[in-house]
Amino acid sequence: MDAMRILLVDDVHLERMQLAMRLQRLGHIVEAAASGCEAIEKYPEFDPDLVLLDVSMPDMSGTEVAQQIRERYPDWVPIIFLSGHDEPEMIATAIDMGGDDYLVKPVNKMVLVAKLKAMRRIATMRHELKETHQQLEVVNERLSQLVNEDGLTKVANRRFLDQKLAEMISWHGRNNLSMSIIMIDVDHFKAFNDYYGHLEGDRCLQSIAAELKTTFSRAGELVARYGGEEFVVLISHCDKTRAVKECERLKQSVRLLEIPHTKSTTAELVTVSQGMVAWVPTGLETPENMYQIVDKVLYKAKAQGRNRFVA
């Protein structure tokens, strides 16, 4: 058996020394304590794998010590009680008070070795379980990323957008607050792809998405890829006056990317058109309703010459 770090607590000097020696001969690392207080004090520093704990001690009983250890150090470590009594009530009570097992003194060597092994097995299983749990958490996080994120642009995907928009509609409806939705479409993007190639087109979408994410990174703001070369920005608790400013900010930030687009009739740079709606929801609107409405507004921005927003 691998060496264990054993905290041995017993008030009787001779018994403590004898058992400590036997444990050391079995290859374990032993820290001895003569009282409950000493044990509790030494516990964190020594960081035991197992506690052997005498039940009857003058200053603090073993069961009290066990309770305190359980309270103070939530990371479970097996506790085996030691006692000269073998009455069933004593054994049952001690285990009820937070012990995991019970050894009757004088301790029989075979039983001691077997019980140490059993506790080690349980501790190992717990440790493995904890590791599996941690791995699962990592997997979970990655999964929710995959489920909610757009693969190309790394902003929220349509699925997440739908969900958030529905939540926002009902929250703002309940609280009687204004929210806004901006739909963004890259101007002359087909021509961009045709001229610069699809790969460059992908890069362009990535740059725009990253820029949008930086521009709208405050709490209550969400950037999502709606589809193709279309993005949506949701802004919580935002009225029309502020939303107009946000659209202007958005327009400038895309412009400042200065992605060349010689085939664009707007600015020889990549530009976007935006449709924006700011309103106090009734709570009955669906995401689909809102996309339809804001898409019509966006269409007006296109019709009016692109590289602009219409509210």
Interacting residue with Mg ion among 38, 100, 185, 246 (CB under 5 A): 185
Residue 221 CA neighbour count, 13 Å, CB half? 16
User: Which is closer to ligand GH3, CB of 279 or CB of 299?
Assistant: 299
Residue 106 region by backbone torsions, left for phi larger than 0, else alpha for psi between -120 and 50, else beta: beta
Residue 11 interacts with Mg ion (CB under 5 A)?
yes
Show the site string, 103-122: x = touches Mg ion by CB under 5 A, - = not. --------------------
| Catalytic hit among 15, 31, 71, 229 | 229
Residues contacting 72, CB < 8 A, separation 6+? 40, 43
Q: Is 256 within 8 Å of 269 (Cβ atoms)?
A: no
Residue 306 interacts with ligand GH3 (CB under 6 A)?
yes
Residue 188 interacts with ligand GH3 (CB under 6 A)?
yes
Long-range pairs for 91-99: beta carbons < 8 A, 24 or more residues apart: 93/63, 94/55, 94/62, 94/63, 94/66, 97/63, 97/66, 97/67, 98/63, 98/66, 98/67, 98/69, 98/70, 99/53, 99/62, 99/63, 99/66
Residue 303 CA neighbour count, 13 Å, CB half? 8
Q: What DSSP state is assigned to residue 12? A: -
Instruction: Show the CA angle centred on residue 106, arms to residues 102 and 107, nearest 5°.
Output: 50
Reply yes or no: is the peptide bond before residue 287 cis, omega within 30 of 0. no
Residue 56 interacts with Mg ion (CB under 5 A)?
yes
Residue 38 interacts with Mg ion (CB under 5 A)?
no
98-127 residues in contact with ligand GH3 (CB under 6 A) are none
The verdict on whether 258 is a catalytic residue reads no
Q: Which does 306 bind (CB under 5 to 8 A by kind): ligand GH3, Mg ion, none?
A: ligand GH3
Show the site string, 222-261: x = touches ligand GH3 by CB under 6 A, - = not. ------xx--------------------------------
Interacting residue with ligand GH3 among 33, 51, 184, 205 (CB under 6 A): 205
To Mg ion, the closest distance from the beta carbon of 57 in angstroms equals: 5
Total residues interacting with ligand GH3, rule: CB under 6 A:
17
- Helix H or strand E segment including 174: helix 158-175
Q: Is 157 within 8 Å of 227 (Cβ atoms)?
A: no
Of 155-163, 188-196, 215-223, 286-294: span binding ligand GH3 (CB under 6 A):
188-196
Of 8-16, 43-51, 53-61, 191-199: span binding ligand GH3 (CB under 6 A):
191-199
Residue 193 interacts with ligand GH3 (CB under 6 A)?
yes
List the catalytic residues: 229
Q: What is the binding site for Mg ion (CB under 5 A)?
A: 11, 54, 56-57, 185-186, 189
